[in-house]
Amino acid sequence: LLTRFLSQVGHEPLPPTIGRNVLGRKVLYLPGFLTYARHIVEVDGKRGLFRGLTPRLISSTLSTITRGSMKKAFPLEDMEHVSNKDDVKTSLRKVVKETSHEMMMQCVSRVVSHPLHVISMRCMVQFVGREVKYSGVFSAIGRIFKEEGILGFFVGLVPHILGDVIFLWCCNLLAHFINTYAVDDNFSQASVIRSYTKFVMGIAVSMLTYPFLLVGDLMAVNNCGLRAGLPPYAPAFASWIHCWRHLSAQGQLFRGSSLLFRRAPI
C-alpha cells in the first residue's frame, strides 16, 4: 500500500533499470514494489512499511460498519433472477434498482470513512520529506481541524465518489448486457460464466476509473504543509479538476497503477 501510494505521488528514489518490452525493445523500467519495499525497510526499518496503517484500518472498519447499518436501515427487496431475453426490461430494472441501492451505501460509507483515509495518506507521504507532522490519529484530527477546518477532512472526496459511482454503474450494466445478450441460456455452463462476468468487468472498469482514485489521493496530501504536496513535487492545485488536467497534460493519469512493470516516464 505504501509503495503504491509513493509511486502515485511520483516519489522515485531509486534509478530506473534497462529492460526489454514484449517486442524486445530496450526500455527503462522503474523498480517494482518489492525493490521499493526493500528501500523503505533500509530507510525506515520494517515498521516503515506500515505507515498510516492504523487510520487505514479505522477507515475500513467505519466503511464496513456504515454499509452494514445502511443495509439494515434500507433493505433491498429481493427480486428473482431474470436472464431470459424476453424479460430484458424486467431484468434491467432489477440491475438499476440494485445498483442504485449499492451506490447509496457506497457514497455514504465513503463520506464517513474519508477523513481517516486523508489522515492515512498524509501519514504515509511523510516518508518523502522525513516529516513527523502527522504522528497519531487524534493529533492528526486536531491539526487538520485547526489548519484547514472541517473541509480539510474531505479533500479529494469528490473524485473518489465519482470514481465509485462510475465503477458501479459501468460494471453492473456491462455485466448485465453481456449476460443477457452474449451468454446463451442453452449453454450448459451459462450460470458459471454469468457468475464470473461481474468480477471480470470489475477488473476492466477499475482500470478505467483509476485516474479518479489517483486524483483523489493526490488531493488528500496536496498543499497540506508536507513536502510531497508542495512544489517541486506537485503544484498547489486549486481543485481536483486542476490536478486532473495537470496529470493529463503530462500523460500521468495512470501513474502508480502498475506495481511490477513500471515504465519510466519519457
Which residue would you say has higher pLDDT here, 164 or 14? 164
Please report, for the domain that includes residue 11, its CATH number: 1.50.40.10
What is d(CA 84, CA 182) in angstroms, rounded to the nearest whole number? Answer: 12
Q: How many domains does the chain have?
A: 1
What is d(CA 137, CA 266) in angstroms, rounded to the nearest whole number? Answer: 39
pLDDT beyond 90 at 254: yes
Residue 2, pLDDT score: 86
pLDDT beyond 60 at 78: no
What is d(CA 194, CA 183) in angstroms, rounded to the nearest whole number? Answer: 8
What's the DSSP call for residue 124? Answer: H
What is d(CA 150, CA 154) in angstroms, rounded to the nearest whole number? Answer: 8
Residue 108, pLDDT score: 96
| Residues 3 and 48: beta-carbon distance below 8 Å | no
What is d(CA 116, CA 6) in angstroms, rounded to the nearest whole number? Answer: 18
C-alpha cell at 48: 516503515
For the stretch 174-181, contacts whose Cβ atoms lie closer than 8 Å and that sit 24 or more positions apart, written own/partner, are: 174/201, 174/205, 175/201, 176/91, 176/92, 176/95, 179/83, 180/83, 180/85, 180/88, 180/91, 181/85
What is d(CA 27, CA 36) in angstroms, rounded to the nearest whole number? Answer: 19
Question: Is residue 94 very low, low, confident or very high in pLDDT (cuts 50, 70, 90)?
Answer: confident
pLDDT beyond 50 at 6: yes
Domain that holds residue 45: 1-263
pLDDT beyond 80 at 195: no
What is the value of pTM for the model shown?
A: 0.88
Q: Per-residue pLDDT tens for 204-214?
A: 999 999 999 99
Compute the mean pLDDT over every residue in the chain, rounded to the nearest whole number: 87
| Residues 58 and 137: beta-carbon distance below 8 Å | yes
pLDDT beyond 50 at 117: yes
Short-list 150, 143, 156, CA closest to 225: 143
What is d(CA 35, CA 211) in angstroms, rounded to the nearest whole number? Answer: 25
